[in-house]
Amino acid sequence: MSHPENNPSQEEIMEGQARPAGPSCLHRAWTHFLKGVSYFSGDMEVFGKWMAKQFFLLQLLDWVLRGAAQVMFVNNPLSGLVIFAGLILQNYWWALNGFIGTLFATISALILQQSRGAIAAGLYGYNGILVGLLMAVFSNAGDWYWWLLLPNIFMSMMCPIVSSALASINSRWDLPVFTLPFNILVCLHMVATGHYNHHFPQVLIQPRSELPNITWSEIDVAKLFRSVPVGIGQVYGCDNPWTGGIFIISLFISSPITCAHAVLGSAVGMVSGLALSAPFEDIYFGLWGYNCVLACIAIGGMFYALTWQVHLLAITCAFFCAYLGSAIASIMSTFGLPACTWPFCLSALTFLLLTTGTKRIFKLPLAKVTYPEKNLAFYWKLKKQEKAVKEREESQEQLNSFNEQIILNEKEQLKLDLQRMEEGKKESENEKITEVDERGGRPTGSSWCSLPPLSEGLKQEQFPLEADVRWFCSYKW
């Protein structure tokens, strides 16, 4: 019997039963919250499964919206809808050209019977929206020039062809095609038409011919900060800071990590422009930021699992992209062409081909790339599996070494037993010899001078002195 003072009271029992309910309720609430957020964040996987059962036109709209967002490596139709809202805020005509480019690029992929999963993820639409937008941006014919829709549709439908061709090459190194089809097709269109063209004139781009007037005292700090959202907007060719802010919201809806690296990349581009004494107007206009935005997103958690080493690598890639962008812009301007996203493609591909001995910089297989948060979860899962395998191997090695030690001990014990048996045998033989010496007679057993017995084929008559010889040899002189 326990003492009554040691027995818990009824209130304490009820208190103890109520205690675990708090954390469990909080855990359930947190689980429900994450489940609710997953319906519109990330890649909206549940919505995608539901959309796969709907009629074709609704699916096509979902694919177009995902394609619009995939420019920023976002596979989210809600983000794509917000991005189109930002494009409409910037310019109705540009937004229309972007939508037509995405639509016809997706239709072209369907006609060519490309991977339905890739089409549904918008991977054949994002180059189309860039082609449509930038053809309208660089057109010198003004807005609502309807004939521009003809080359827009044709070039957009060429995007899946160029993408498929480049993918067959890049897949050997497990690399994406990025926006290389957009760069190729827009430069092709601008070179084919040019500034002096009756039907499709382009804006005149010329190399810098004089030293820009840079007065550091006249720098506008407010415009410098404004250049961060403008740089994000310039990914789609937009210079409106409100449009850039809407794009930031669209990125945050899908992935906060992507959003953070986009802002960081644009800031790196702005700092790089100041470091290289770029004209302030170019920095305010966001021209130094948009390539760095894409490069920082691509390396910072999209194609590499996000660690602090990868985060520093993404910042380094953004700085490299800014320097490369300045060089490519100078070269392309001599041909009357914009830099487009060539700096981003070349810098990101360079950093994705990086080889290193550290396991903290882990490049994901292209088939496993989704969005940074899910990529990070996949990386942690792999690390846990590797840790479990390593622990199993270590335990197996310990067990094997223990078994080997047991076998070795048994061998040593057996060896000692054999030595003792041999020593005992020798002692017994010595004792017998000593008995013979004391007795002066023949030994009862064999001795060092004993002869082998006669074979059965030989008779005693052939060796009449055998017994005498044996006695003689057994005697110790």
* Burial (0-12, 13-18, 19+ Cβ within 10 Å), 59: middle
Max intra-chain CA distance, the chain: 138
Q: What is the model's pLDDT at position 447? A: 45
Cα 468 from chain centroid?
A: 96
Q: What is the model's pLDDT at position 440? A: 57
Identify residue 184 by its one-letter amino acid code.
Answer: I
| DSSP per-residue codes, 340-404 | TTHHHHHHHHHHHT---S-TTS-BPPGGG---HHHHHHHHHHHHHHHHHHHHHHHHHHHHHHHHH
Q: Are 239 and 278 in contact (CB under 8 A)?
A: no
Q: What is the model's pLDDT at position 420? A: 83
- What are the φ/ψ torsions at residue 197 (nearest 5 degrees)? -135, 135
**Three-class DSSP category at 253:** helix
CB environment 111-136: b (16+ within 10 A), e (fewer): eeebeeeebbbbbbbbbbbbbbbbbb
* Inter-CA distances, 373 with 27, 42, 440, Å: 20, 8, 99
Q: What is the model's pLDDT at position 20? A: 46
Q: What is the model's pLDDT at position 130? A: 97
Mean pLDDT per block of 10 residues along the chain (477 residues) reads 46 47 70 80 91 93 97 96 97 97 97 95 96 96 95 97 96 95 97 93 89 82 95 96 97 96 97 93 95 97 95 97 96 94 97 92 93 94 89 85 85 84 80 70 46 46 49 46
Structure tokens at 216: 């550091």
Query: The whole model's pTM is what?
Result: 0.79
| DSSP per-residue codes, 261-282 | HHHHHHHHHHHHHHHTT--HHH
Query: Measured between alpha carbons, how far is 434 from 404 in angstroms, rounded to an integer?
Result: 45
CB atoms within 10 A of CB 430: 10
**Three-class DSSP category at 24:** helix
Q: What is the model's pLDDT at position 213? A: 72
Q: Are 360 and 307 in contact (CB under 8 A)?
A: yes
Q: What is the model's pLDDT at position 34? A: 73
Q: What is the model's pLDDT at position 455? A: 47
Q: What is the model's pLDDT at position 458? A: 44
